[in-house]
Amino acid sequence: MTDPLAARYGDPDARLGVLTDVLQLQLARRSVRRFTARDVTEDELAALVAAAQSAPTSSNLQAWSVIAVRDPRRRARLAALAGDQAFVAQAPLFLVWVADLSRARRLARRAGSPLDATDYLETSVIGFVDTALAAQNAVVAAASLGLGSVFVGAVRNHPEEIAAELGLPPHAVAAFGLAVGEPDPAERAGIKPRLPQRAVLHREVYDAEAADAHIPVYDERLAAYNRQFGLAGGWSDRVLARLRGPESMAGRHRLREVLDRLGLPSR
């Protein structure tokens, strides 16, 4: 399918009553894991950060930072820590997005002011939510510049080692990475179908039975998509396997205790 909306839902009959250039970019977004040798310029990086900083932020706390990693040796070390994913090392730019409460801690220390609210789960959640909102703005901005990207949650596999590699201060943790670069046109990939809207859009109240009735159709559509790339199975099997238990979490089942050691407790 060449129509991005049809591809997004795996449904040739999918239609939208409105369509803009921004929507076209968002509908066509896909994860890019192979990049050309073209670098991401400093002007492009500045534009991505400006877009990120234009995202909403809770109470204007701006509880995030981002580290641009270009050094090939550091990218290789980060790739090893993030599940040995080769594209982390191959991408010309790897952005590590940081839930960052350290800035507020330093502000309080200079002002001689208490900052006890940072010991509570709500504030850590704010840090991660703010970080995600900012990074997604950067992804759309990257697409508008002809750049591709892919999020890398595997930086949470070894958060303490990642913190040491990047020199993170206490009260800051890498939330996820983002590999960025010009997409390699030879990469065999497509727009992965998502759940039908009626499986996620509820009106006035949550209706689980009506929503879940659309999952079997989606399983069929995603299985058909996966077969194009030599993969097996649909969505339901993937969800159940990924969330089966601690053994399926690549070490992230210890995240609460690690966050506490890094200075993001959750009282």
Mean pLDDT, residues 31-49: 98
Per-residue pLDDT tens for 52-109?
A: 999 999 999 999 999 999 999 999 999 999 999 999 999 999 999 999 999 999 999 9
pLDDT, greater one: 1 or 124? 124
**d(Cα 80, Cα 66) in Å, to the nearest integer?**
20
Radius of gyration of the chain, Cα coordinates, nearest whole angstrom = 20
Please provide the CATH number assigned to the domain covering 31-188+252-261: 3.40.109.10
Helix (H), strand (E) at residue 199: helix 197-200
pLDDT at position 1 is 47
What whole-number percentage of the chain has pLDDT above 70? Answer: 99
Per-residue pLDDT tens for 105-122?
A: 999 999 999 999 999 999
Q: What would the two tokens of residue 85 be?
A: 């994913």
Domains in the chain: boundaries: 31-188+252-261
Q: What would the two tokens of residue 167 be?
A: 């020199």
Per-residue pLDDT tens for 215-233?
A: 999 999 999 999 999 999 9
pTM of the model: 0.96
Torsion of CA 75, 251, 120, 110, to 10 degrees: -30
173 φ/ψ angles, rounded to the nearest 5 degrees: -145, 140
Summary mean pLDDT of the chain? 96
pLDDT at position 266 is 87
**d(Cα 236, Cα 114) in Å, to the nearest integer?**
47
Residue 184 has what DSSP assignment?
P
